[in-house]
A and B are shown apart, each in its own frame.
Chain A
Amino acid sequence: MTEEEFQACMTAMTGGDRQALKAVYHAYLKLIFAVVYDTVRQREEAEDITSEFFIKLFHIAGTYRAGNGHKKWLVTIAKNMAIDRIRKTGRETPAEVLPEPEQEQPEFTEQIVNRVTLKQAVAGLKPDEREILDLKAVGQFTFAEIAQMTGRPMGTVTWLYNSAIQKLRRCRQWI
């Protein structure tokens, strides 16, 4: 979604247009859910926060000011909501229980086996690596933008991303 399209959606949402919200939802659900999940690391809570995010977005659409990049704005809001939730619940961010490695079954097709192994590989990523991977792959931010958003040096961001890709590649090599 371009900046102009997003701006138009925000204006429409200010007037109560739910279809505009739906357009934004379809464009950025994966990114927002990934960012929230990377922060809270619990699926149900991530779903709750993501839902609340879009409801909140519908109400605060009028506060959006174009010029600084709408994706960065969205990610910042979503991450803050996730951090607020963690503070309210007063818990640390335990990693969700990793799924047990599934036994390869001969009747599975290669595609299914490939997906499962990739899922296992993603589950094995460190939180930092997954966060950077999500921002880069899903959000399509540049390394510079990710460094600015996460407050990390760009070298660290690049290193974490490459590390994540290497882990995924190894998983793929298992196939």
Chain B
Amino acid sequence: MDLDNNKKETQTEKELVEAYLNQLALDTPDLWDRIEAGLDAEEYQNADQAADQNAVMNAKETVQEIKAGKKPKRMAGWIAAAVSLAAVLLAAILVVPFLSHSGRMDKTEDSGRNEVMPDEELVQSQDSAKNESNSDGVDFGNAESNGEEIENSDGLEHDSLTEAAEENASVNGIQPEGIVCTLEILSRTEENCHCRIISIEENSFALSAGTEIEIICMDGTVEAAQGSVLTALLIEKQENGKYLVAIQRPEE
């Protein structure tokens, strides 16, 4: 009896489970369409994202290409900046010596004046007659034709100008070779003066009276050489074939 009951219960349990599964099958929804739709949506989204990523990558590549394209321009800019800097430095290197030269020339001019004046006084105290004959002006080119006192004064002046020229030349690396001469200014620009030598004391540069030369205009030189004033100059030849001068104002 118990075995029969157990068999019946087991059978009943199996039937119950089977009935439960059947009912569950009826209650379970068909979700396949939703799942496929979800997969499709994800694939579409992934495709969109991939497209977006491709677009982003393309944009990045484009930006990189543009950047790469700009690099040479930047390099050119740097080169231009470097060239500009080099030009400025070169100009400074070229100009600073001239400025210092000019400053030294001013000093030379001042020292020349300081030294000339006592000489003049000395000459005047020693021989008034001779001083009167030279009072119209000192022609440095014709200094040899004057008296001894004048020669002394010229000699002092020449020495001071020579020393100044030596200083300038030593700065520029040029061997000091001072020439005292008189010039006639034929034409002048801001940078250069075209002059003709009227007379020349020394002829180290193979210059002679009547020779036309180009002189680099220095501060004060142009003003002192306004018009066609005969000017006593200390000439220093430059490497570019032009001449650098220190002005010695002619005495009145």
Contact = CB atoms under 8 A, between A and B. Distances in A.
A33 interface: yes
B21 A18 contact: no
B13 interface: yes
A165 B28 contact: no
A118 B20 contact: yes
Contacts of B36: 18
A29 B19 CA distance: 17
Q: Which 6 A-B pairs rank lowest in CB-CB distance, beginning with the nearest?
A: A51-B34, A55-B38, A137-B17, A54-B35, A168-B16, A51-B31
A122 B23 contact: yes
Contacts, number: 64
Contacts of B19: 114-115, 118, 172
Interface string B37-70: 0110010000000000000000000000000000
B24 A138 contact: yes
Contacts of B25: 30
Nearest to B36: A18
A51 B30 CA distance: 10
B12 interface: yes
Chain B: interface size category: 20 to 34
A21 B36 CA distance: 10
A78 interface: no
Contact of A54 (B23, B24, B29, B31): B31
B26 A115 contact: yes
B20 A55 contact: no
B16 A25 contact: no
Nearest to A47: B29
Contacts of B13: 165, 169
A118 B39 contact: no
Contacts of A169: 12-13, 16
Contacts of A51: 31, 34-35, 38
A168 B20 contact: yes
Contact of A52 (B16, B21, B27, B38): B38
B35 A25 contact: yes
A169 B32 CA distance: 33
Contacts of B23: 115, 118-119, 122
Given A30-B28, A122-B23, A137-B20, 5 more contacts: A34-B28, A47-B31, A137-B21, A165-B16, A169-B12
The listed residue with most A CB atoms (<10 A of its CB), out of B26, B35, B39, is B35
Given A122-B20, A137-B21, A138-B24, A58 B39 contact: yes
